[in-house]
Amino acid sequence: MILFSGCERKSKFPHINTEIIKKNIEKIIFNENIDPSSVRYDPAEKAKIIKTLPEGQMKLVVLSYHHIDKPAGNLSNTTKSMFVTPENFEKQMKYLYINGFTTITIDQLTNALDNHAPLPKKPVLLTFDDGYKSFYENAFPVLKKYNFHAVTFIIAGYFGKGRDELYMTKKMIKEISDSGLIEIASHTMSHPFLAKISPAAVDYELKQSKKILSDITGKEIKYIAYPYGSVNSYIINRAAALGYKAGFGVYKDYIHYKNQQFLHSRVSVQYTDNLSMFAKKVEIY
Ligand SMILES: [Zn+2]
């Protein structure tokens, strides 16, 4: 199932360390029946790998959100965990503002790792997955209020088809992109487990989503988040070849590596997080 691109020691993409990626990929569990949010690296294993990297690593908060909305009462706890209520979200953004955090862009993150570009004080990268309408309605106004930057990873095959109730329309995506605060990035076409589909299907998911989102925004789409964090070295190499510059998973970690720009970790903010739990997640500096 897991596709590795041979045993070459050096990747043809200088920003990818194939050896390290391979070590990490082997730790990802592939099982269709498990809770998608549990698909991630083994943190203990990753900690071991971190120790072997003397330089080119950085500690940084990257948060991931899904729905900014009140969950319906009949949802399972797992589904509920993907929600943050608008009230809590407002409190969390206010907390970041009051406590001197600075929201950054992915460009700033990659530049800091690649070129030692300085980052502002207490940097935090805010990311939102799936392109829900609740982002437009409940998160975007708050982000505008605080002049905060954020990234939305959009499922580019989910426009129309009766999905306008739940997902942002093309018009909304254009508007948030034009605001200059929100970066639009890919979350594939159909939200598959990328590591479980054919190479041709992977190419379609990566290439077509990049094109569609670029056509909507008039901007280059440089970044991708892998649905369920499902990724392997084949996917990473194809993403780089197709012009992506970095990729994001769901791995609950704060360490970012120069040589692993396609395996950025994120820490998810969940329904049950009260403000002090949120503070604990971001106060790492
Ligand atoms: Zn997703």
pLDDT 10s digits, 103-139:
999 999 999 998 889 999 899 999 999 999 999 999 9
Token output for 17: 């360390």
CATH class of 18-29+40-282: alpha beta
pLDDT above 90 as % of the chain: 67
Q: Mean pLDDT of all residues in the chain?
A: 84
Confidence of residue 44 (pLDDT cuts 50, 70, 90): low
Confidence of residue 23 (pLDDT cuts 50, 70, 90): very low
Burial letters 78-92, b for 16+ CB under 10 A, else e: ebbbbbbebebbbeb
- Mean pLDDT, rounded, for 6-30: 40
Measured in Å, residue 129 CA sits from the centre of ligand 1 at 5
pLDDT for residue 11: 38
Containing 183, the helix (H) or strand (E) segment is strand 182-186
How much is the pTM? 0.82
Backbone angles phi, psi at 96, to 5 degrees: -60, -40
Per residue in 202-219, pLDDT tens?
999 999 999 999 999 999
More confident residue, 122 or 38: 122
User: For the residues of 216-270, what is the DSSP string, one character each?
Assistant: HHSS---EEE-GGG---HHHHHHHHHTT--EEE------EEETTBTT-B--EE--
Confidence of residue 162 (pLDDT cuts 50, 70, 90): confident
Measured in Å, residue 111 CA sits from the centre of ligand 1 at 25
Token output for 125: 């990268």
More confident residue, 284 or 89: 89
Query: Does the structure show a pLDDT above 50 at 75?
Result: yes
Confidence of residue 84 (pLDDT cuts 50, 70, 90): very high
Measured in Å, residue 255 CA sits from the centre of ligand 1 at 22
pLDDT for residue 273: 94
Confidence of residue 152 (pLDDT cuts 50, 70, 90): very high
Measured in Å, residue 52 CA sits from the centre of ligand 1 at 31
Measured in Å, residue 67 CA sits from the centre of ligand 1 at 11
Q: Which amino acid is located at 99 in the chain?
A: N
Measured in Å, residue 187 CA sits from the centre of ligand 1 at 7
Containing 64, the helix (H) or strand (E) segment is strand 61-65
- Mean pLDDT, rounded, for 51-61: 70
* 213: Cα separation from own chain's centroid: 16
Query: Does the structure show a pLDDT above 70 at 93?
Result: yes
Measured in Å, residue 191 CA sits from the centre of ligand 1 at 6
Query: Does the structure show a pLDDT above 60 at 19?
Result: no
pLDDT for residue 15: 45
Query: Does the structure show a pLDDT above 50 at 63?
Result: yes
pLDDT for residue 285: 83
pLDDT for residue 33: 35
Q: How far apart are CA 123 and CA 105, in angstroms?
A: 10
Per residue in 254-272, pLDDT tens?
889 888 899 999 999 999 9
pLDDT for residue 57: 83
Query: Does the structure show a pLDDT above 60 at 171?
Result: yes
